[in-house]
Chain A
């Protein structure tokens, strides 16, 4: 859907499209060397409809009078910036861009992507890769990813986009899957089940027990082994204490030493998830 440029910038209300990029190049040649290596420049030179004015609006008045004032890209504001991009990129998951948390939080496409030069080998991100781009705003996650138990993001074997759909997810945390568990089992399909004996909090939300962005405890657990289990389990006897001499829970992996199938059991003797 073409943008209403007159609304976006009243200074363009009376302008028309020049529709000739060579006119732009006469004055803005300094941008072109870098721009011509971008996917946009290549696409526009390969038959894909688009030009300078696709993104910068009708510029006939600007050509007539280069000093004539119009809004800068920054002054257009985030919603208009995104609307410019969505003229062409409203397909796929981006069809839901307007519904996303990013969109309603003053984030625009240009917050993460650089169009006028190739700042990265893929996806035109403003930083060298997706993860570093996300860290520009989500700096706290960079700190969390440094923890001893972590997903291999800092080793560049995963990126934020491995779990988050940055463009069009309608879930609260912009997840790739419909739910947290659907997202986690994309890679951890062995825990997907369903199982004969379900562990209900596991089925509902992996984050009941795990910190996806990093933890001081092994296996990304939110708490130290048996202290996590004891947050919910108080049956009596050994299921009540972090140390009880008939069980080995202060060492090894705590309760999991015996209750090895905490994600769900498929054994007919698996009611207590020891099989």
Chain B
């Protein structure tokens, strides 16, 4: 009956019970399962055909921190209003510890300081008793002052959208979104001018973000064309502008100084948090019929990004700086974006489809470039000066990309197949990067339906990206000191080089890509459905690197020396992926599903160790462990293998039709990462093995392993025509092994507790200590979940 009122809905109220190790935040990482009563589902649907009015509500997990509520009302031939509310937790840890007390507005204060005895650089041997005594003082301080801290965020997003619902000829839509994110996340507070003298602590950065988006859309449809206009205003506000943390090492022991070299450590560290910003974007869309039974689509977009936060001083201890004045008081950062996407599709003859496209995107950076004289991490020389190398210019990185391509599809009679051939050229131009790149991509695809039960697809892509003209010396533009100011300092990145000349950054390097996709779907009957797919992608970043003379032309004794000429950086990546997916429904009462995914991703990278303090005179460190940039035997390689396997299965069984149903599903996922490390670090430059506590020692680390097993079962009983009793149970087991989250490995060890980590070299250099919030902030768990619900349908 098309002239009736339709009203129906479901209310599901349940009792939820969770038994899980409270130590693990991973269980509730993105959800809020906890003991108690729960409005699991509210669904209401009302329609009155006499007026055309409708009203729909869907709400899930009401009252919990992972709730969602959606409502829509309106008339099918008229206006509509929708309201959407979503909450998403992101729990990071239940076990994090900190010595800090949060005083609000980004300010962290320690309940005390550590009276430690730092030692002068290069005056004490590693593992000296006095250094270890200092570590024990820190450990003791932590044991007395650590307390728990919350770590995680809550994201609440609300959206209201109004659709004028005019007609196809003219429509208007207005949407407003307000998102707030609050809580805390992991951050670090380094204080100190360089790594050897960096005092670092891991702690919780407060998050109090708000993003508001207003979007207006208008569209007009003609007989054979459509026109649209969209304007988006997005404003991000961070309620906390600045993070300030106390230096817990601020108090030297009586009769000792940790600040014995010419650096003034600050009592506090300070840095800005994510700045407020604005994004405006206007977009015009157009689509129309075109010749040769074709269609033309165009999108033009113009946007601006602005950020003008007031800048902090160079240092928290700004009063001691010789040149404390900033070139400007606020960021004045501004970018503009332009986009033009044009597509023409055509079906000129029955068996041929054509598609041609042009995509252009331009990101222009209007941020003023200024000369800065900064200090590092709130530390400065005692005389208030800073290193000549800290005279840096902010470079206004920008880029534009142009993609042009065409594709032809021939529909063949054989096996109802389609043959597709395509070509695309991509050109990306960049300001202040090593290279512009151009890439030619060729694709060949074959799709077929040889019978009603089979569908086959094969696609091959070959891409050849050219990063010719790769020039790493663009970084010279980011320094503004003179050679005279550098003097005879051999670490002089402006007039020598910054990155090693044999390095090729993978995103702008040459690349040959081969990619193959195969898939087959078999549906022997309405009951069976199988899909198998395979993907192979092989990227080779070989850029024909050859030995170069980076000092050529300079009046230096080592001007004629060559680099080894072995490419550094990411060398190759390959990925293989197999997916099997199937379902079997022998009757209306039973459906079985299963899927399997295997994915293996391998990458090869190479780099080399060299002393940055000898860029101008590498021969002077020819035999040193921390040697010259000319020495190939200081290279190392790391082959990473990410291996992922997922298996899932499910069953839905109406044991007694309309009375008793059983749903079971389960997933098992194993993710592993192996890094095979060879070369310098395993041995020195002469092949002599390094001990694990050597300052450069490293070797193949243990396998990183994540394993997740989930099993869910739900039994439903129809109690009466409109009422179901649902009993659910969920089991989860998560295991994690990650050497970098351990408290003790061959390369670092805990001192007193897991909250103070120290490099096993036990050096006097403070950069190798880290006060942290704990190992395995989200450890493994075993969790049981039970739910008993009553669902009432009306």
Contact = CB atoms under 8 A, between A and B. Distances in A.
B781 interface: no
A196 B171 CA distance: 41
B190 A257 contact: yes
Contacts of A88: 168
Contacts of B108: none
A46 B390 CA distance: 71
Interface in B254-299: 271-272, 274-275, 277, 279, 281, 285-287, 289, 295, 297, 299
Contacts of B377: 258, 269, 274-275
Contact of B195 (A139, A254, A258): A258
Contacts of B190: 257-258, 260, 274
B759 A245 contact: yes
B763 A235 contact: no
A201 to B, nearest CB: 5
A121 interface: yes
B629 interface: yes
Nearest to A238: B195
Interface in A22-66: 36-37, 39, 41-48
A180 to B, nearest CB: 11
A6 interface: no
B505 A157 contact: no
B695 A178 contact: no
Nearest to B6: A37
Interface string A124-159: 000000000000000110111011100010011110
Contacts of A246: 195-196, 695, 763, 765, 767-768
A46 B611 contact: no
A73 interface: no
B402 to A, nearest CB: 14
Interface stretch (B46-54, B128-136, B462-470): B46-54
A42 B48 CA distance: 9
Interface in B704-739: 704, 706, 708, 736
Contacts of B209: 189-190
B161 interface: no
B604 to A, nearest CB: 10
Nearest to B598: A143
Contact of A104 (B221, B355, B613, B636): B355
Interface string B747-788: 110000000010101010101111010000000000000000
Q: Dominant SS at the A interface?
A: loop
A52 to B, nearest CB: 12
Nearest to A190: B274
B681 A241 contact: yes
A271 to B, nearest CB: 4
A98 B343 CA distance: 9
A95 B226 contact: yes
B397 A198 contact: yes
A46 B377 CA distance: 67
Q: Dominant SS at the B interface?
A: strand
A37 B168 CA distance: 24
A217 interface: yes
Contacts of A185: 279
A95 B288 CA distance: 8
B673 A217 contact: yes
B367 A196 contact: yes
A87 B335 CA distance: 40
Contacts of B603: 223
A253 to B, nearest CB: 7
A261 to B, nearest CB: 7
Nearest to A209: B507
A208 B644 CA distance: 20
Interface in A161-200: 170-171, 178-179, 182, 185, 187, 189-198, 200
B611 A224 contact: no
B295 A98 contact: yes
A269 B297 contact: no
B765 A245 contact: yes
B579 A143 contact: yes
Contacts of A248: 200, 748, 757, 759, 767-770
B93 to A, nearest CB: 12
B607 A198 contact: no
A102 to B, nearest CB: 13
Contacts of A90: 221, 226, 287
B476 interface: no
B34 interface: no
A157 B407 contact: no
Contact of B772 (A48, A99, A144, A252): A252
A196 B672 CA distance: 38
A251 B757 contact: yes
B31 A155 contact: yes
Interface stretch (B142-150, B310-318, B542-550): B310-318
A218 to B, nearest CB: 9
B490 to A, nearest CB: 11
Contacts of A194: 277, 305-307, 331, 333-335, 365, 367
B454 interface: no
Contacts of B695: 244-246
A158 B86 CA distance: 10
> Which among A170, A194, A254 has the greatest number of chain B C-beta atoms within 10 A?
A194
A266 B611 contact: no
B697 A243 contact: yes
A147 B681 CA distance: 31
Contacts of B675: 224, 227
B76 A39 contact: yes
A274 to B, nearest CB: 5
A47 B2 CA distance: 12
> Which among A171, A237, A275 has the greatest number of chain B C-beta atoms within 10 A?
A275
Interface string B121-133: 0000000000000
A57 B306 CA distance: 52
Contacts of A241: 607, 609, 636, 680-681, 696, 698
A261 B269 CA distance: 14
Contacts of B171: 91-92
A36 B1 contact: yes
Given A96-B343, A205-B507, A271 B478 contact: yes
B595 A142 contact: yes
A44 B77 CA distance: 9
Given A36-B1, A271-B372, A157 B86 contact: yes
Nearest to A275: B271
> Which among A37, A103, A205, A236 has the greatest number of chain B C-beta atoms within 10 A?
A236
Interface stretch (B95-103, B481-489, B495-503, B552-560): B495-503
Given A246-B195, A267-B311, A170 B238 contact: no
Given A200-B433, A238-B195, A47 B77 contact: yes
A242 B236 contact: no
B669 A250 contact: no
A81 B782 CA distance: 48
Contacts of A223: 603, 640
A62 B127 CA distance: 93
A274 B759 CA distance: 21
Nearest to B295: A98
A20 interface: no
A117 interface: no
Nearest to B741: A251
Contacts of B418: 106
Given A193-B305, A196-B333, A147 B611 contact: no
A15 B586 CA distance: 39
List the 7 shortest-distance A-B pairs measured between CB atoms, nearest first.
Answer: A143-B597, A236-B612, A46-B52, A99-B343, A190-B274, A152-B30, A269-B374
18 contacts: A36-B1, A91-B168, A140-B577, A190-B236, A190-B274, A194-B305, A194-B334, A200-B432, A208-B507, A216-B672, A231-B506, A235-B500, A236-B615, A246-B196, A250-B759, A252-B757, A257-B770, A268-B374
Given A258-B188, A266-B309, 10 more contacts: A140-B579, A157-B30, A227-B638, A227-B675, A231-B505, A232-B503, A236-B500, A239-B612, A241-B698, A253-B186
